[in-house]
């Protein structure tokens, strides 16, 4: 993911835990040109381990997510969580009108209230942008963002373990509730149909490769006189290859029609057909 931002800045240790509001996260987000980048190490772990399942275990210290977060300093851990939070936020906002994106960006960047349970004002703002389901998803994102602020503040006074536990709680929030808005890519029907077509082509690849091999090995020195000659010459060899290898695609009872079509139109097989060039005659002077 490409985020233009500074690293999270943690204040110096203080003896007054209530000074959370003096901890700031300084970063720059270019919402308009945001693009996804290769997954971070934390994202790869999250692909394998779901935080909502691990969070209820007796000891978080034994889980892969905790072990990874505690192994790096709090600023790097917080930044990796922040990257995932922002990525999910961008996925949630991707299909709303531009004017609503501007409004939502301002809401997202607003500093969380000291008492996040007071959601009335936020809900009133979200009603103008989202329906109930997406508003709930936004709340999870906002709560995860809030956890980063509290984690970076409280770890200074109470240690890295508490900071990581709060970050873990943020990931738990992020993966709670409806997850359908956060698919890496929403495919259109045409893309799905195209992928199905490519899959079918791949199933035929072995037989096509055998056809090309036979077209090359059986071709006369000067080339085939016509496509039909090439078809008749290689058909027995291709059929035997399919029988010997128990090839399923294409069906053996359709190979005659299929091979004829491939020789005429398939970009792979037809390219292997070399038709003899007619002799050239010099024109009389």
One domain, residues 33 and 168: yes
One domain, residues 42 and 165: yes
One domain, residues 237 and 144: no
Domain membership flag for residue 237: yes
Closest CA to 168 of 37, 88, 27, 62: 62
Domain membership flag for residue 279: no
DSSP state of 51: H
For 128, half-sphere exposure in the C-beta direction (CA atoms, 13 angstrom radius) is: 11
Token pair for residue 221? Answer: 């020195």
CA 32 to each of CA 109, 206, 280: distance values in angstroms, whole numbers, following the listed order: 15, 45, 63
Token pair for residue 141? Answer: 């994102």
Cβ atoms < 10 Å from Cβ of 27: 17
One domain, residues 146 and 27: yes
One domain, residues 123 and 264: no
Domain membership flag for residue 245: yes
Task: Point out the residues of the chain with pLDDT beneath 70.
Answer: 1-33, 54-58, 111-118, 184-202, 267, 278-285
Q: Determine the pLDDT at residue 9.
A: 52
- CA-atom Rg of the chain in angstroms: 31
One domain, residues 144 and 241: no
CA distance 196 to 216: 30
Q: Express each pLDDT in 33-80 by its tens digit.
A: 677 777 888 888 888 777 877 666 667 777 888 888 988 888 888 888
One domain, residues 164 and 78: yes
Domain membership flag for residue 247: yes
Q: Determine the pLDDT at residue 194.
A: 52
Q: Determine the pLDDT at residue 108.
A: 85
Last residue of a domain, one of 156, 182, 208: 182
Q: Determine the pLDDT at residue 204.
A: 86
Q: Determine the pLDDT at residue 16.
A: 43
Q: Answer whether the bond into residue 210 is a cis peptide, omega within 30°.
A: no
Domain membership flag for residue 241: yes
Domain membership flag for residue 232: yes
One domain, residues 142 and 245: no
| Dihedral (Cα; 45, 50, 51, 53), 10-degree rounding | -140
Token pair 């496509």 in the structure block, residue: 227
Last residue of a domain, one of 126, 158, 182: 182
Q: Determine the pLDDT at residue 239.
A: 95
Centroid of chain to Cα 253: 40
Q: Determine the pLDDT at residue 203.
A: 82
For the chain, how many structural domains are there in total? 2
One domain, residues 145 and 26: yes
Domain holding 175, by residue range, is: 19-182
One domain, residues 55 and 100: yes
Q: Determine the pLDDT at residue 3.
A: 37
Domain membership flag for residue 50: yes
Q: Determine the pLDDT at residue 5.
A: 42
Q: Determine the pLDDT at residue 236.
A: 96
Last residue of a domain, one of 124, 151, 182: 182
Domain membership flag for residue 258: yes
DSSP state of 129: T
Q: Determine the pLDDT at residue 209.
A: 85
Verdict on whether the full-model pTM lies above 0.85: no
Q: Determine the pLDDT at residue 222.
A: 87
Token pair for residue 135? Answer: 């508003």
One domain, residues 251 and 114: no
Helix boundaries (H) for the chain: 41-48, 51-54, 64-71, 74-93, 98-109, 120-126, 132-158, 160-174, 189-218, 227-244, 255-265
One domain, residues 109 and 201: no
């Amino acid at each position: 993911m490409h985020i233009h931002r500074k690293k999270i800045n943690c204040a110096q240790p203080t003896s007054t835990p209530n000074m959370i509001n003096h901890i700031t996260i300084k970063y720059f987000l270019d919402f308009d040109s945001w693009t996804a980048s290769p997954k971070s190490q934390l994202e790869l772990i999250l692909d394998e381990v779901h935080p909502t399942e691990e969070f209820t275990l007796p000891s978080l210290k034994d889980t892969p997510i905790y072990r990874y977060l505690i192994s790096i300093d709090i600023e790097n851990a917080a930044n990796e969580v922040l990257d995932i939070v922002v990525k999910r936020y961008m996925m949630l906002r991707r299909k709303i009108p531009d004017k609503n994106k501007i409004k939502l960006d301002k809401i997202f960047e607003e500093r969380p209230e000291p008492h996040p349970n007071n959601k009335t004002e936020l809900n009133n703002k979200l009603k103008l942008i989202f329906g109930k389901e997406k508003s709930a998803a936004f709340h999870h994102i906002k709560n995860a963002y809030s956890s980063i602020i509290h984690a970076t503040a409280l770890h200074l006074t109470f240690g890295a373990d508490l900071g990581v536990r709060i970050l873990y709680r943020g990931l738990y929030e992020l993966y709670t509730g409806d997850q359908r808005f956060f698919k890496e890519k929403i495919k259109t029907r045409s893309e799905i149909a195209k992928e199905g077509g490519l899959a079918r082509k791949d199933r035929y690849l072995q037989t096509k490769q055998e056809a090309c091999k036979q077209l090359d090995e059986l071709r006369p020195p000067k080339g085939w006189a016509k496509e039909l000659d090439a078809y008749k010459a290689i058909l027995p060899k291709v059929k035997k290859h399919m029988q010997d290898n128990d090839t399923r695609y294409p069906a053996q009872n359709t190979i005659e029609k299929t091979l004829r079509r491939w020789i005429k139109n398939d970009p792979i097989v037809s390219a292997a057909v070399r038709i003899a060039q007619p002799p050239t005659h010099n024109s009389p002077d």
